């Protein structure tokens, strides 16, 4: 059993359904038990993140199908594999409304403090399940355009900072998003793929030649963003690109 317990330091953004802690030294704890990661804050148990379980595709992490029978990654490019902690389930369903991992992923869009339990849990997955990722050279967060950061931060950046602090892998902010987009307006997988073409570019922090890179995001749906970001990193000389996400959304065309 391994427990990770980051110190809660962001007092200005208290999580939904969490009152202001009286003891400001309380910490988030994540404990791996079988196919779940138990999540608690101080002495309060919040529940568990359900981890991705077989069968699932070992290329795009699509659940419920073996790799050789999965058609969801047929048009993916730019990366070797997507590693997902668990499933992201829409709040439009009862399962998604009650699922703790999905709740925290949604919460991260409004409250950066959700990056603490999510990032710690992702790090546990790397240490215990996806150990090959621990041998990578650096972490690269999927970027947002400044106009998209209405709450003043990028979820992927926050997750990357937590994971970097635990695994000891450096962060390279090597990507920039050239314009703001809303992926929800792309109604199909095909339109999502087309919508990201040429959307990402390298920044000055692009010392990637010969390096094994882990691209980090909160959720993957169609693989569109991961493909375009990954290809941009490969074009910069990265040796390999793998993707690590908190949740694997099930996108239905």
Distance from C-alpha of 172 to C-alpha of 183, rounded to nearest angstrom: 25
pLDDT at position 205 is 62
Q: What is the 3-state secondary structure (H, E, C) of 68-121?
A: HHCCCCCCCCCCCCEEEEEEECCCCCHHHHHCHHHHHHHHHCCCHHHHHHHHHH
pLDDT of 9: 38
Per-domain residue ranges of the chain: 54-249
Residue with tokens 């427990």: 3
Q: What's the pLDDT tens digit per position in 9-45?
A: 333 333 334 333 344 467 899 999 999 999 999 889 9
**pLDDT value, residue 25:** 62
According to CATH, the topology of domain 54-249 is Rossmann fold (3.40.50)
Instruction: Please state the pTM of the whole predicted model.
Output: 0.88
> What pLDDT is attached to residue 207?
83
pLDDT, mean over the chain: 87
Residues facing 33 on adjacent strands = 36
Q: Which residues of 35-56 are buried (b: 16+ CB within 10 A; e: fewer)?
A: ebbbbbbeeeebbbbbbbeeeb
Chain segment 55-86, per-residue pLDDT in tens: 999 999 999 999 999 999 999 999 999 999 99
3-state secondary structure of 165: helix
Give the residue ranges of the chain where pLDDT is below 50. 1-3, 5-24, 185, 252-253
Supply the pLDDT for residue 150.
83
pLDDT of residue 251: 58
pLDDT of 18 reads 35
Query: What pLDDT sits at residue 14?
Result: 33
Up-side HSE of residue 159: CA atoms within 13 Å toward CB?
30
How far apart, in whole angstroms, are the C-alpha atoms of residue 234 and residue 78?
7
What are the C-alpha distances in Å from 61 to residues 108, 140, 197, 236?
21, 19, 22, 26
200 neighbors 176 (Cβ within 8 angstroms): yes
pLDDT for the residue numbered 194: 72
């Amino acid at each position: 059993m391994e427990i990770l317990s980051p110190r809660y330091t962001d007092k200005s953004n208290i999580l939904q359904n969490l009152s202001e802690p009286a003891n400001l030294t309380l910490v988030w704890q994540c404990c791996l038990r079988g196919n779940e990661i138990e999540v608690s804050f101080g002495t309060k148990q919040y529940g568990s993140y359900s981890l991705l379980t077989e069968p699932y595709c070992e290329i795009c992490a699509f659940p419920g199908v073996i790799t050789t029978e999965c058609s969801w990654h047929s048009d993916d490019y730019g990366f070797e594999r997507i590693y997902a902690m668990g499933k992201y389930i829409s709040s439009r369903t009862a399962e998604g409304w009650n699922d703790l991992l999905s709740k925290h992923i949604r919460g991260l869009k409004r409250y950066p403090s959700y990056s603490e339990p999510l990032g710690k849990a992702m790090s546990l997955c790397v240490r215990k399940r996806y150990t090959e990722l621990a041998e990578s050279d650096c972490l690269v967060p999927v970027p947002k355009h400044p106009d998209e950061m209405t709450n003043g931060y990028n979820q992927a950046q926050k997750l990357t900072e937590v994971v970097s602090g635990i695994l000891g892998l450096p962060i390279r902010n090597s990507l920039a998003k050239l314009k703001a987009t809303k992926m929800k307006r792309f109604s199909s997988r095909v339109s999502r793929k087309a919508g990201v073409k040429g959307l990402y570019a390298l920044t000055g922090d692009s010392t990637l030649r010969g390096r094994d890179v882990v691209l980090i995001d909160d959720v993957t749906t169609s693989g569109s963003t991961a493909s375009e970001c990954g290809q941009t990193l490969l074009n910069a000389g990265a040796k390999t690109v793998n993707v690590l996400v908190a949740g694997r959304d099930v996108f239905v065309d």
